[in-house]
Amino acid sequence: MRSVCIGVDVGGTNLRLALVDREGGVVGRLHECTDVDSGVASFLTRLQAAVERLKREAEVMGRRVTAVGIGLPGLISNDGVVRSCVNFSALDGVNLSRVVSEGVALPVLALNDANACAIGEQRFGAGRGFRSSLTLTIGTGIGAGLILDGRLWTGADGVAGEFGHITVEPDGRPCGCGNRGCVEQYASASALSPQRGGAAAVALRARAGDRDAAALFEKAGSYLGIAAAGVLNLLNLEAIILGGGVAESFDLLAAPMRREILARSFAIPGARAKILKGALGDDAGVLGAAALAFDAPPPHY
């Protein structure tokens, strides 16, 4: 039987699962409602039931599920413990890898969703061919996954890559993290459209010639560039990849971002780094989570 892994992307409203082969091919999909309001036990029951459904689907196709990778927003330690989960604080302190593994009788790896997206883009998308890259997932907030020397870098405790909380305005807007002036307060979907019908609607107006809408994206791209310039000086990365919903407005963000990078970074890292649009869209997370599960199947509890 050919091996497949299950990649899971836990969003605020949707739970997306995919059966993925080693080449990044998706051979099965399943969508469920996350329904965080129903509590942890109900969420885990739905998640485990969805995994079991995909296991059976794989068996019908003559394939065997060998591991599961789960990406979710927040701080996830290297041992799979949820330290802080965005929009689902009831999961805080839960060893998601252990709990789900015990429920589905498979090795399970839990990781930050932006890290999963970074691996997805590196293996199968815009990051192919680069040994070092930063993938930004720009939505309600800004997540990031860092690839160094061809491998995901998560830091000593598994929580590296919090690009969205780099300070760009020392006395700026309060952030939910407790800091002030974080870049996600100026360049996320929430910053672009607090009362304007969504970032996509603002982008449409900007492309139609609305100067106020265009100025919002100009400002957002500039702040992304300010934060990125420091990262490039520190790490000399080959590429910055923009993913997430706001990345659909890549054409409005890339130029001001590039301008600030060239103005603020050293010449060599600034010139080296490419700014690219993510190639995988909503599949980046499930593909990356599955790829990591293939690489080093986590302990089976």
Query: For residue range 140-191, what is the model confidence (pLDDT) as tens digits?
Result: 899 999 999 999 999 999 999 999 999 999 999 999 899 999 999 999 999 9
Query: For residue range 2-25, what is the model confidence (pLDDT) as tens digits?
Result: 999 999 999 888 899 999 999 999
**Torsion angle of the four alpha carbons 100, 105, 108, 110, in this order, in degrees rounded to the nearest 10:** 0
Q: Are strands 151-153 and 142-148 parallel, antiparallel or unpaired?
A: antiparallel
Q: Give me the numbers of helices (H) and strands (E) for the chain, helices first please.
A: 10, 12
Distance CA 216, CA 69 (A): 36
HSE of 276 in the Cβ direction (CA atoms, 13 Å)?
24
The fraction of the chain above a pLDDT of 90, given in percent, is 85
Confirm if 236 and 270 have CB atoms less than 8 A apart. Answer: no
Considering the domain 2-116+283-295, what is its CATH architecture? 2-Layer Sandwich (3.30)
Query: For residue range 94-148, what is the model confidence (pLDDT) as tens digits?
Result: 999 999 999 999 999 999 999 999 999 999 999 999 999 999 999 989 999 999 9
Distance CA 150, CA 126 (A): 14
**Torsion angle of the four alpha carbons 184, 254, 159, 264, in this order, in degrees rounded to the nearest 10:** -90
- The CA-based angle 225-239-276, given to 5 degrees, is 75
C-alpha dist (Å) from residue 70 to 73, 104, 117: 10, 13, 11
Residues near 245 by Cβ (< 8 Å), separated by ≥ 6? Answer: 138, 139, 189, 199, 200
Distance CA 32, CA 6 (A): 14
pLDDT at 37: 77
Query: For residue range 256-273, what is the model confidence (pLDDT) as tens digits?
Result: 999 999 999 999 999 999
Distance CA 97, CA 219 (A): 39
Confirm if 233 and 266 have CB atoms less than 8 A apart. Answer: yes
HSE of 201 in the Cβ direction (CA atoms, 13 Å)?
7
Confirm if 182 and 165 have CB atoms less than 8 A apart. Answer: yes
Q: Which two tokens stand for residue 160?
A: 């590296």
Element (H, E) at 67: strand 63-72
- Radius of gyration over alpha carbons of the chain, in Å? 19
The pTM of the whole model exceeds 0.85: yes
Distance CA 120, CA 288 (A): 4
Query: For residue range 59-90, what is the model confidence (pLDDT) as tens digits?
Result: 999 999 999 999 999 999 988 999 998 778 88
3-state DSSP helix/strand/coil percent for the chain, to nearest 5?
45, 25, 30
Confirm if 185 and 227 have CB atoms less than 8 A apart. Answer: no
- List every span in the chain annotated with CATH 3.30.420.40: 2-116+283-295, 129-278
Residue range 129-278, CATH number = 3.30.420.40
Greater model confidence, 296 or 291:
291
Distance CA 294, CA 292 (A): 5
pLDDT at 300: 58
Listed residue (239, 247, 295) closest to 269, CA to CA: 239
